[in-house]
Structure 1
């Protein structure tokens, strides 16, 4: 799946935390903004309440259910900056993508 396809899939699934901006940052692959304030998913790299930093490969493993989000966090594959509660809420949101 490409990043553009992921953006569309997340938009269709309503994959955002209401009222919050959560950014997924994939390093060299760029970013995806889950904008719960405007109910949209974009490839913006602006300010966010919470930023999740993860490699694209690890993200794909998480999305496929092969890598648990908490395990990724504990092993340093997933880094969270900002409001941790938004990251916790995002787990339920991401389950919609499977």
Structure 2
């Protein structure tokens, strides 16, 4: 699935829910998805926190088929930046 479609589905999930802070899903050559100001976009920018993962693992994460903590421990997700922002994402997904 192209990142633009994934960003649109994230945006639909954000409707009515707040996400304080900014977070970037960096999927390497496939591109990025940035969550900031309660919007999901494929426009790259600096964020509070960055998660580096494959597009496939991003889809699994968003579908609830990949446990975030297990994925980090197995090296499927690499986190840099503000850790509390990453934890806010876990609440949003849960």
Q: Shorter-chain TM-score: which interval?
A: 0.7 to 0.9
SS in 1 for 2:79: strand
Q: TM-score, with normalisation over the residues of structure 2?
A: 0.86
What number of residue pairs does the alignment pair up? 92
Alignment partner of 1:61 is 2:60: yes
Q: TM-score, with normalisation over the residues of structure 1?
A: 0.83
Gaps of 5+ in 2: none
Structure 1 residue ranges, 4+ long, deviating more than 6 angstroms after superposition: none
Aligned counterpart, 2:81: 82
- Aligned-partner Cα distance in 2 for 1:94–1:3: 18
Q: Is the 8 A contact 1:22 1:50 kept in 2?
A: yes
Q: Report deviation, 1:61.
A: 2.0
